[in-house]
Amino acid sequence: MTISGRPADGEFAAYATSDIDFVAGDDAVAALRAQCDEVVALFNTLRNDDVRGLAYAPGKWTLKEVLGHLADDERIFAYRALCIARGDTRPLPGFDEQEYVAGSRFEERTLADVLDEYRIVRAASLALFASLDEPAWLRRGIVNEYEASVRGLAFHIAAHELHHLRIVREKYLATRL
């Protein structure tokens, strides 16, 4: 397995810089693997009945919607990484995360079911990223009108998750932990 290396500015969306700074190390696969264990451990401490409909403010996503959003976002960023890693040079579109969550049924499902989906998505991402060689990690493409490398996209997945985990701990679970 080839270690991704840490992406430099210009390899990911500028808006993600502060979150990417929180991702430890220079190996996207190791970071994603460790974070998966952290997410699973955290959500396994929660009971479906306790988190049903749990949002920290009116109009905010529920806890299950946040977890489902992590899986959806990862699918999209992993797809983008796959396209670029395989040499596809077509620009890749953005997406509206609000529409995706609105079109989901995460809140109607059990927490265990949404967590299983998250684990499966992460396992697929890990399999993809673990298969890449150095040239693939460094390939660049256009996603949502910015330039990104494959390793930048992988680190973006990790950074995005860390961002939401901070919110989950501070706003959803602060009184429950």
At residue 176, the pLDDT reads 63
At residue 1, the pLDDT reads 83
Query: How far is the CA of 98 from the CAs of 73, 120, 165, 170, in angstroms?
Result: 11, 22, 18, 21
The model's pTM is 0.96
**Each residue's pLDDT tens digit in the chain (177 positions)?**
899 999 999 999 999 999 999 999 999 999 999 999 999 999 999 999 999 999 999 999 999 999 999 999 999 999 999 999 999 999 999 999 999 999 999 999 999 999 999 999 999 999 999 999 999 999 999 999 999 999 999 999 999 999 999 999 999 998 665
Whole-angstrom distance, CA of residue 162 vs CA of residue 39: 10
Which domains are seen in the chain, by residue range?
14-172 (1.20.120.450)
**H or E element: which one contains 156?**
helix 150-167
Cα 98 from chain centre: 15
